[in-house]
Homo-oligomer: A and B are copies of this chain.
Amino acid sequence: MISWNNLDASKAFAHLQTLRNRVCLPEVLSGEEGAKRVRKASVPMAAGLSYNYAAKAVDEKVLDALCDLAKETQLTEKFAALYNGEVINTGEKRKVLHHLTRGQLGEAVVADGVDKREFYLSQQERVAEFADAVHSGKITNEAGETFTTVVQIGIGGSDLGPRAMYLALENWAKQNGSFYMEARFISNVDPDDAAQVLRSIDVSRSLFVLVSKSGTTLETLTNEAFVKDALKKAGLDPARHMVAVTSETSPLASSKEYLAAFFMDDYIGGRYSSTSCVGGAVLSLAFGPKVFGRFLEGAAAEDVLAKEPDPRKNPDMLDALIGIYERNVQNWPATAVLPYSQALSRFPAHLQQLDMESNGKSVNRFGEKVDYVTGPVIFGEPGTNGQHSFYQLLHQGTDIIPLQFVGFKKNQAGMDVDIQGTTSQQKLCANVAAQIMAFACGKKAEDPNKSFAGGRPSSIIIGEQLTPEALGALLAHFENKVMFQGFVWNLNSFDQEGVQLGKVLAKRVLSHDTDGALRVYSDLMGI
Contact A520–B91 (Cβ < 8 Å):
no
Docked CA distance A417–B442 (Å):
55
Say how far A415's CB is from chain B's closest CB, in angstroms.
4
A2 proximal to B (CB < 8 A): no
Is there an interface contact between B159 and A353, defined as CB atoms closer than 8 Å? no
Interface string of A405-427 (1 = CB under 8 A from B): 00101111111110111111111
**A and B contact pairs by CB, cutoff 8 A, 28 listed:** A29-B516, A32-B516, A35-B516, A38-B517, A157-B388, A188-B383, A190-B342, A191-B413, A191-B424, A195-B413, A218-B420, A219-B384, A219-B427, A333-B333, A352-B389, A362-B453, A363-B396, A367-B449, A387-B499, A391-B502, A421-B510, A426-B510, A427-B506, A429-B525, A430-B527, A433-B524, A435-B502, A449-B497
Copies in the complex: 2
- Residue from the set A229, A398, A429, A517 with the largest chain B CB neighbour count within 10 Å: A517
A226–B424 CA distance with the chains assembled, in angstroms: 9
* Residues on B with beta carbons closer than 8 Å to the beta carbon of A389: 156, 160, 271, 349, 352-353, 356-357
In contact, B415 and A498 (Cβ under 8 angstroms):
no
CB distance from A182 to the nearest CB of B (A): 9
Which of A194, A340, A349, A509: most chain B Cβ within 10 A? A509
| CB of A388, distance to nearest CB on chain B (Å) | 3
Q: A29-B517, A196-B413 are in contact. Are A397 and B506 (CB under 8 A)?
A: no
User: When the two chains form their complex, are residues A155 and B384 in contact, meaning their CB atoms are under 8 A apart?
Assistant: yes
Contact of A188 among B382, B437, B441 (CB under 8 A): B382
Nearest B residue to A175, CB-CB: B195
Tell me whether A189 is interfacial, beta carbon within 8 Å. yes
Asked if A319 CB lies within 8 Å of chain B CBs, one says: no
Of A38, A160, A420, A424, most buried by chain B (CB within 10 Å of CB) is A424
Within 8 A of B (CB), among A334-375: 334, 340-343, 349, 352-353, 356-357, 359-363, 367-370, 372-375
A396 partner, pick from B37, B353, B362, B437, beta carbons under 8 A? B362
Contacting residues, chain B, for A170 (C-beta < 8 A): 196
- Chain B neighbourhood of A420, CB < 8 A: 218
Using Cβ atoms and an 8 Å threshold, which residues of chain B touch A448?
363, 367-369
Cα separation A518 to B436 with both chains bound (whole Å): 8
Task: Answer whether residue A17 sits at the interface, using C-beta atoms and an 8 A cutoff.
Answer: no
Contacting pair A517 B37 (CB below 8 A): yes
Looking at chain A's contact residues, the main secondary structure is: helix
A438 engages B502 (CB within 8 Å): yes
Extra contacts besides A171-B192, A191-B413, A360-B394 (9): CB < 8 Å: A29-B516, A35-B520, A221-B419, A360-B393, A377-B379, A393-B498, A395-B501, A437-B517, A441-B517
Kindly supply a per-residue 1/0 record for chain A positions 210-249, scoring 1 wherever the CB is within 8 Å of any chain B CB and 0 otherwise. Answer: 0000000011011101100100000000000000000000
Chain B residues whose C-beta falls within 8 Å of the C-beta of A376 in the assembled complex: 399
Q: Min CB distance, A392 to chain B, in Å?
A: 4
Instruction: Give the CA-CA distance A504 to B452 in the complex, in Å.
Output: 13
The chain B residue with its CB closest to the CB of A200 is: B182
A155 touches B385 (CB 8 A): yes
